[in-house]
Amino acid sequence: MLMNMRDLLAVAHAHHFAVPAFNISSNMLLSGVMEASAEARAPVIL
Protein backbone atom coordinates (compact mmCIF):
# COMPACT_ATOMS: atom_id res chain seq x y z
CA MET A 1 0.00 0.00 0.00
CA LEU A 2 1.31 3.44 -0.86
CA MET A 3 1.10 6.13 1.82
CA ASN A 4 1.95 9.77 2.10
CA MET A 5 5.22 10.12 4.09
CA ARG A 6 3.67 12.51 6.60
CA ASP A 7 0.80 10.10 7.31
CA LEU A 8 3.14 7.11 7.58
CA LEU A 9 5.42 8.86 10.06
CA ALA A 10 2.44 10.11 12.07
CA VAL A 11 1.21 6.52 12.48
CA ALA A 12 4.72 5.35 13.39
CA HIS A 13 5.06 8.11 15.98
CA ALA A 14 1.64 7.42 17.49
CA HIS A 15 2.36 3.68 17.79
CA HIS A 16 6.04 4.04 18.79
CA PHE A 17 7.75 2.18 15.94
CA ALA A 18 10.45 3.03 13.42
CA VAL A 19 10.13 2.87 9.64
CA PRO A 20 13.33 1.71 7.93
CA ALA A 21 14.49 3.41 4.75
CA PHE A 22 16.43 1.51 2.09
CA ASN A 23 18.54 2.75 -0.81
CA ILE A 24 17.83 0.14 -3.49
CA SER A 25 20.47 -0.34 -6.18
CA SER A 26 19.29 -3.56 -7.82
CA ASN A 27 16.21 -5.66 -8.47
CA MET A 28 17.55 -8.36 -6.15
CA LEU A 29 17.73 -5.92 -3.23
CA LEU A 30 14.26 -4.61 -4.02
CA SER A 31 12.88 -8.14 -4.11
CA GLY A 32 14.49 -9.02 -0.78
CA VAL A 33 13.32 -5.85 0.96
CA MET A 34 9.77 -6.21 -0.35
CA GLU A 35 9.60 -9.90 0.59
CA ALA A 36 10.85 -9.23 4.13
CA SER A 37 8.49 -6.28 4.50
CA ALA A 38 5.50 -8.36 3.38
CA GLU A 39 6.48 -11.25 5.65
CA ALA A 40 6.83 -8.93 8.65
CA ARG A 41 3.77 -6.91 7.62
CA ALA A 42 5.89 -3.82 8.20
CA PRO A 43 6.18 -0.57 6.24
CA VAL A 44 9.40 0.50 4.52
CA ILE A 45 10.60 3.62 2.76
CA LEU A 46 12.24 2.99 -0.60
Please indicate, yes or no, if residue 45 is contained in any of the structural domains: no
Residue 41 has pLDDT above 90, yes or no: yes
* 36: containing domain: 5-40
How do residues 1-37 score in pLDDT, each as one tens digit?
A: 889 999 999 999 999 999 999 999 999 999 999 999 9
Number of domains in the chain: 1
- Other Cβ atoms less than 10 A from the Cβ of 19: the count is 15
**What is the pLDDT, as a whole number, of residue 1?**
80
Q: Note the pLDDT of residue 3.
A: 92
Q: Give a yes or no: residue 32 inside a domain.
A: yes
Whether residue 46 is contained in a domain is answered as no
Model pLDDT, residue 31: 97
Q: What is the pLDDT of residue 29?
A: 96
Identify the CA nearest to 19 among candidates 28, 11, 27: 11
